[in-house]
Amino acid sequence: MAIIERPVPATSVGPALPTVTPSSSLGVFRRPVAATGWRSWVFTVDHKRLGIMYGVAATFFFVVGGIEALLIRLQLAGPDGTVLSADVYNQMFTMHATSMVFLFAMPMAAAFGNYFLPLQVGARDVAFPRINAFGFWSFLFGAMFVNAGWFLGGAADGGWFMYAPNSGVAYSPSHGIDFWAIGLQITGIASLSGAINLIVTVLNMRTRGMSLMRMPVFTWMILVVQFLLLFAIPVITVALFLLTFQRVFGATFFSVEAGADPLLWQHLFWIFGHPEVYILVLPSFGIVSEVLPVFSKKPLFGYPFVVFSGAAIGFVGWGVWAHHMFASGIGPISVAVFSMSTMAIAVPTGIKIVNWTLTMWGGKLRFTTAMLFAMGLVVEFTIGGLSGVTHSVAPSDTQQTDTYYIVAHFHYVLFGGAVLGFFAGFYYWWPKVFGKCLGERLGKWNFWVMIVGLNLTFGPMHIVGLQGQPRRMYVHTESRAGEGFFNITFWNFAASVGAFIIAISVLLFLINIWHTHRTAPPAPLDPWDARTLEWMTTNPPKAHNFDSVPTVHALDEFFHRKYEDVGEGDEHDLRRVATAEELLAEQEANADHHIHLPSPSYWPVVLAFALPIVGFGVIYNHLIAVVGASIVVLAMFGWALEPSVALDTDYDPPAPDDGPGTELATVGGGRP
Amino acid sequence: MTTTGSKLLIGATVMAVVAAVVYGVIVGGALGTIGLSSAAMGLALLAGVNVYTRDADVSSMDTQAVMAAPAAAAAPGNSMWPIGAAVGGVLLVVGFVTYPVMVVFGVVVLLAATVEWTVQAWSERASGDATFNASLRGRMAHPLEFPVLGAIGLGVVIYSFSRIMLFLSQAGGPAAFATIAALILLVGFVVAFRPTVRSGAVAGVATIALVGLVAGGVAAALEGERELHPHETTGDLGREGQCDTGEETEADENASQTVGAKANLLADIVLHEDGRLEADALGLPGGAGQLVVARNNPTNVRFVNASGEERRLVLDLGTRPAVDENGDVIEDEEVPDQRCTALANEDGNQLLNFTVTEPSASGGPYAFVVPGVDGARVEVVVP
Amino acid sequence: MVREMSAGPSRRRLAGALTALGGVTLLAACAEDAPQDTWQPAGENAQRIQDLQWWVFAIAGAVGLIVFATIAWVSVRYRDRGQPIPRQTHGRPALEIGLTVLPALILVGVAIPTIGTLMDLSRTSDTECVVNVTGQQWWWEVDYPPQEGCGGFSEPIVTSGQMVIPTGTKVLVRGTSRDVIHSWWIPRLNGKRDMVPGRVQTVRLQADRPGIYAGQCTEFCGLSHANMRMEVVALDPADFETWKANQLADYTAPMEGSLAAAGEQVFISQCATCHQVDGLVNADGVPIIAQPQERVFAGAAPNLTNLTTRNTFAGATWDLLTPTCRDDVWNASPEEFGAAYLAGVSADCLNEVDLREWLRNAPAKKPMYADPEQLGPTDGLNRGMPYLALSEAQIDQIIAYLLERQ
């Protein structure tokens, strides 16, 4: 095995010793170095493969959350709906929010971040590849754990905000909330490890010449998001621990009889919960800030303003949590302060909208599907942002909070913001990731159907909310529906129709994927005439991303290598001087030697798998928790003992120096 | 392949698992099962290590290696663990006849020394390359060493600091805290603005600070803590029938003298200088002699003592059946049913949290009173 | 109301026109809106909010229109017609700063009146009358403490579901909760306020005209959150005095041998454990005090002393009046409303359908937590009303008895 057969260096004192090689080793201790087959995915530490897996898992939970939404809308399509019982309805809206926020939007952002951030900063992988793999697997196992409640006596039913004391055992006797709290704890570990990973990657692994202010805006926004995660996740971790202790071990953190105050939970939850909103939406802002310049053939207008407004949102986002509590009775002074800070955060958000608009101004616009989705975001997010301003006016908010008006607001922000941004990203980067362009015709259908569905679903909710229908009601009634244009029943029906139109558009997207991968020809190397580094390599990128790590001289490096301004004085005349193919050939000709890449590993997935075992143990039997914890310790040991790079003997048969091996091993591997 | 040495350990692991299952099923009881499961885990770990290192037995696989093995070629390096183990043993033995705490120390030192010794010995014969061996040792031991040393280091710092803060007076504490914080900030500034400062100098300053902190902590620990006021325990007052007294009791000594940041209370119950007691509730200004409290509802009120003397507020809920030591109800014996605050000092506030289960109509009359002040009374109406 | 009509880029102009016309005119004109419409204030406090939010919505709408129009114009004007690649400009700081300062100034303009309104709405020093509300799963208890306000109360009144207040009076609602967080919201009178256990929260209410103002619990409070409603009934001060006197009137026992008298016995054996009826005595003449804490987790059940003076039951979710009678009350003119409401529930007007269903099997009608096999976490206590296995004859008797609780 690895340790014993280490060759003695020539410099050592004494006679040269022969290498000792073990006859064989147990297969399980060998590194899973396969480059193909399921093992190459399960044990991979490649940021691109992990990014794709994040994306697939997130899409799955998008569909799950979408089905939950459809059931909710079916129940509410008419008055006194009977599709779901009150109990199941409460589980349904709790899990819809949980799925969409924690199991779709966050991992989807992680998918984009994981895949493109290293490419955009010219790195070969993230800083801690095995932690990256661990992050994905703990997300996946945590997500499954959260949903395990469905099959074990009922899912969580306290709303995603899980206000105390309604989250106590007396008010929610099933194990659903236990699964929810511990499962989110596990996905929190994923977010936290991912955050540290990407922060270190950005700060330490940028390529030559890429100063912070030359980074693509997408990378910037992901960086801001990781800092938000780094500080927000610990807060929810504490809150979830308190909740778990209250439920499982009979603690009294939120019990009035014991002198505690239930509002403690609200503060903890929203100190996490509001930055979480920016965690969800900033990645899409980043995507749009990539897509708009490419299809406008212009750099992002006011790059430093966009960057700093993103950072400003990241900071001010910490000072606005109590606007979720304007009706909680926190006192007029607190309300006034948080009202003002909430208005203040509208300014940097507005800057972004203005800059996106001015990026298009004077451009040369190509309305590809990606561009349409990006423009759709600008429009729909503006609607959500403006209704957000009406909430910052606290007295007005006391009329609107906890009604469907709020539901409308944050769906315009999160669907109109985050989801449309993700779709822009899908269409823009699909050829980069899979080597084929998604169909434009189906894509445009996808876009327009989604826009219609989105506005038909969430638009009427403004009316319904202002007409006084509270959220989270499993039925609404004809007797309080009113008459005429603003009839609540009619607009509820309209919203339900809209929800199914959205479902059709998502279906169109899935069909588009299937169709593309069956029939589409390979995509050109640079299909959009893009501007950033990730397009300076093959489609899809090689395992080591770049044959030769590029040196960066300017913002939008790729564009400036392709085009030169030959105009004189104030005259500007941009001429193409190189094609993407030429640039790639040049890079391949100057390939680096000794590329160091980490090897796949068992331990991340083993360690991640042990976490839900601990969770089950906490809920059902503490002995199981001991077993799980023991596996955690063993896996950590195994991880710590494992060299970062696979050794020759890990290959079966052991790879000779010039043997077939794998691409990894040939290019750099870790072979001595 | 199973190596000879690991067979014993694998067998023992299996035995432990079987024993855990059998014990768990037949005898039951968490402790035994946890113990046996832990033993199984530990044995499995050892078995794994043994298989992984092939019993650390080079000769079995390569007869030449006995001559050529690194261990045969290079003499082992220096080690502090033999003496560490000896110190542990001595502590253990001495502890048995003197202080039990020493036994614990002995066990810990002995354990640490044994583990370190084992890892070092094993790593030194792993190959002929000393650097590689050292890295091997690190890989094996660091996952244990770093967390443990980190925890011990942090623990020492925190403990020392806490001793110092507990030793200082209530006024001195914040001052010392501010000073130390300011010093740290200052040093941080200097280091940040003068990157040329030698790292040795920084380390020196840090070491001096650390030594000073630990020394201060030790000294403060020997000197003992200042007089402390732990959190209130007035819930016991009512149960122990001590609410009636206007005098200070043991519970009062231990009770805090102020109300925390409690907002949105049902009412302030104010004791005026002239001995009047009034309920000041939101929306009912002017001080009422009556307070309506919802039935079966946990309620918070604040006692505001403006009388210039130490007083407590008592909620008189009539009588309740007496209970004996075991909590069983004693027939035909009633005791006063009271809730009360701790003694509020002059111009002090106290919080009272209570729930009334019977309406005034059947359980009443209820009232707030102040022991030692005649006529101070607010009727409590529970509809 | 500006935003629900605007859609994707292609519909922007249409949306603009629709917004300007439809949003403003329809909103102001439509008189048959839902009873919980947030845009039809019926008292000073809600009016303050209305005056404030009107401008905010208008400004937000205007900003939205400008943004949409700009994007529409840009996407037509600068679409790719083969023009040369534009200059690679990175922005103009002066313009950027200007466009940062402008919204900031607008927001300052919004902030100042916001703070003023906020402070006024949270004042408790100038109110004339206090009413307490206590939320529990899934109904509201309302009680009037002894006070000089509202024409004076010598002893407390406890009722539920409907809060009766005099018109033109600044009423201070003090609310709390016995179990989880609930929220008190009467949209036409004021914004909402969460009622948090252990805290006493305040809301100002004032109704200008007599009438019924509907509301609903807006903080998710568990299983039957959707079925937790409340109503504020505003009566002019003279009618209010009548109502008050009726509430405080002595208990009238049913005539011996009547159906109601049998109902009284059923009530005592089946209902009085939890439901208080003031003045009800047992066979020995001892007043019966309900002990809801022995059956219900929240430790409270609605006081039924004057049930049929109210016209809703079960958390104000169902009407005690038939639809026709209900419309007569709800649609009565302000002058006639007082008399209509004070008439209470007569035998002709009683909504027997819902009431019978409720008495037959309450948890089947309104989802509640009353399955005896699932009561472990609450030590066998119900959350809500359990199934009582009453016979049809018993239900007849109880209804006859309750009809006399006027």
Q: Please, which pLDDT band fits residue A615 given cuts at 50, 70 and 90? A: very high
Query: Quick one: B278 and B315 in the same domain?
Result: yes
Cα separation values, A332 from A339, C48, C51, C55, C116, Å: 10, 16, 19, 22, 10
Question: Any chain A CB within 8 A of the CB of C115?
Answer: yes
Is residue B74 situated within a structural domain? Answer: no
User: Using CB atoms, which residue from A363, A395, A400 is nearest to C118?
Assistant: A395
Is B288 in the same domain as B203? no
Q: Which position has the token pair 């403003």?
A: C24
pLDDT of the residue at B342? 82
- Joined together, the tokens standing for residue B118 give 């084992």
Residue B115 belongs to some domain of the structure: no
Search chain C and give the residue with CA nearest B288.
C147
CA distance A445 to A419: 16
Which of residues B165, B193, B223 is at a domain's end? Answer: B223
| pLDDT recorded at residue B383 | 86
Residue % of chain A over a pLDDT of 90:
77
* Interface predicted TM-score (ipTM) of this complex, two decimals: 0.91
Task: Give residue A618's pLDDT.
Answer: 94
How many angstroms separate the CA atoms of A118 and A137, rounded? 20
My answer on whether B184 and B291 are in the same domain is no
Q: Which residue positions in chain C have pLDDT lower than 50?
A: 1-18, 20-21, 24-25, 28-31
Residue of C nearest to B293 (CA): C145
Using the Cα atoms of residue A19, residue A20, residue A24 and residue A25 in order, give the sign of their dihedral.
Answer: negative
Look at B289 and A586; give whichever has higher pLDDT: A586
Q: Using an 8 Å CB-CB cutoff, list chain C residues near A572.
A: 87-88
Domain residues for the domain of B258 are 235-381
Of B191, B223, B255, the last residue of a domain is: B223
Instruction: Indicate yes or no: CB of A403 within 8 angstroms of CB of C60.
Output: no
| Residue pLDDT, tens place only, A406-421 | 999 999 999 999 999 9
d(CA C393, CA C405): 19
Which pLDDT does position B63 carry in this prediction? 61
Residues 6+ apart with CB under 8 A from A392: A323, A339, A342, A343, A346, C110, C114
The Cβ-side half-sphere exposure at C337, using a 13 Å CA radius, reads 21
Phi/psi at C168 (5° precision): 65, 15
Is the CB of residue C156 less than 8 Å from the CB of residue C144? yes
Closest Cα partner for A630 from A653, A608, A614?
A614
Is B42 inside a domain boundary? Answer: yes
Low-confidence ranges of chain B (pLDDT < 70): 1-2, 56-74, 228-240, 250-251, 253-262, 285-287
Q: What is the distance between the alpha carbons of residues B47 and B10, in angstroms, rounded to a whole number?
A: 6
Are residues B375 and B259 part of one domain? Answer: yes
The tokens describing B141, both together, are 């031991």
Minimal Cβ distance to B37: which of A1, A3, A626: A626
Q: Which residue of C has its CA nearest to B266?
A: C200
- Indicate if B213 and B311 belong to the same structural domain: no
- Whether residue B135 is contained in a domain is answered as no
Task: List, for residues A206-255, the tens digit of each pLDDT value.
Answer: 999 999 999 999 999 999 999 999 999 999 999 999 999 999 999 989 98
Residues of C in contact with A471 (CB under 8 A): 218, 220
The domain limits of chain A are 39-533, 537-589
Q: Does A23 touch chain B (CB under 8 A)?
A: yes
Q: Residue B286 has what pLDDT?
A: 60
Partner residue facing C34 (CB), from A163, A488, A555: A488
When comparing pLDDT for C329 and A646, which is higher? C329
Strand, helix or coil for residue A657: coil
Does B75 fall in a domain? no
Which residue of B265, B280, B282, B366 is the best one to mutate when testing the C interface, meaning the one whose CB has the most C CBs within 10 A?
B282
Query: What 8-state DSSP symbol labels residue B343?
Result: P
Any CB–CB contact under 8 A between C322 and chain A?
no
Contact flag B1-A26 (C-beta cutoff 8 Å):
yes
Residue-level pLDDT at B169: 84
Is B125 inside any structural domain? no
CB contacts, 8 Å: C87 with chain A: 298, 362, 572
A13 vs chain B: nearest CA distance in angstroms?
A: 9
Instruction: Output the CATH code of domain A39-533.
Output: 1.20.210.10
What does the pLDDT look like over A179-207, one tens digit per residue? 999 999 999 999 999 999 999 999 999 99
Q: Within this chain, do residues B219 and B239 fall inside the same structural domain, yes or no?
A: no
Q: Taking chain B, what is the end-to-end CA distance rounded to the nearest angstrom?
A: 80
Q: What is the nearest CA distance from A532 to chain C, expressed in angstroms?
A: 14
Contact C178 B296 (CB under 8 A): yes
Q: Is some CB atom of chain C closer than 8 A to the CB atom of A88?
A: no
Contact across the interface for A170 and C297, Cβ inside 8 Å: yes
Report the CATH number that the domain containing residue B376 is assigned in CATH. Answer: 2.60.40.420
Tell me: the pLDDT tens digits for A52-71?
Answer: 999 999 999 999 999 999 99
Q: Are residues B366 and B263 in the same domain?
A: yes
DSSP state of B266: S
Place of tokens 């009202």: A339
How many whole angstroms separate alpha carbon C115 and alpha carbon C119?
Answer: 6
Rounded Cα gap, residues A446 and A369, in angstroms: 9
Residue A59 structure tokens: 């899409």
Same domain, B240 and B364: yes
Cross-chain residue pair A634–B41, CB shorter than 8 Å: yes
Q: Which residue of C has its CA nearest to A481?
A: C34
In a domain, B136, yes or no: no
- Are the beta carbons of B319 and B358 closer than 8 angstroms? no
Where do runs of H (alpha helix) occur along C84-219?
A: 93-121
- Residue of A8, A626, A637 lying closest to B128 (CB–CB): A8
Q: Do C174 and B362 lie within an 8 Å CB cutoff?
A: no
Q: Give the strand order in the sheet containing B314-323.
A: B290-292, B377-381, B366-369, B314-323, B329-340
Q: Is residue B85 part of a domain?
A: no
Mean pLDDT over residues A150-160, rounded? 94
Q: Do A327 and C12 touch (CB under 8 A)?
A: no
- The reply to whether B215 and B256 lie within a common domain is no
pLDDT number for residue A258: 80
**Which are the contacts of C224, defined by CB distance < 8 A and separation ≥ 6?**
A86, C137, C138, C315, C366, C367, C368, C384
DSSP C191-234: --EEE-TT--EEEEE--SSSEEEEEE--S--STTGGG-EEEEEE
- A9 part of contact set with chain B, CB < 8 Å: yes
CA distance to partner chain C, nearest, from residue A36 (Å): 44
> C376, exposed or middle or buried, with CB in 10 Å at 0-12, 13-18, 19+?
exposed
Total count of domains within chain B = 3
Query: What are A339's two structure tokens?
Result: 């009202």
The answer to whether residue A250 neighbours chain B at the CB level (below 8 Å) is no
Picking from A102-116, A461-475, A568-582, which range would have the lowest pLDDT averaged per residue?
Answer: A568-582
In chain A, what residues touch B62 (CB-CB under 8 Å)?
20-21
Taking alpha carbons only, the member of A327, A341, A470 closest to residue A406 is A470
Predicted confidence at residue B330, as pLDDT, reads: 80
| Range with lowest mean pLDDT among A138-142, A256-260, A396-400, C220-224 | A256-260
Tokens of B107: 């066990």
CA distance A533 to A219: 11
Rounded to a whole number, what is the distance in Å from the CA of A280 to chain C's nearest CA?
22
Q: Residue A395 and residue C32: Cβ atoms within 8 Å?
A: no
Contact A257 B355 (CB under 8 A): yes
Cβ count near C347 (within 10 Å): 11
The model's confidence at residue A656, banded by pLDDT at 50, 70 and 90, is very low
User: Domains of chain C (ranges plus CATH)?
Assistant: 9-121 (1.10.287.90), 129-248 (2.60.40.420), 259-403 (1.10.760)
Chain B CB contacts of C146 below 8 Å: 290, 292, 381
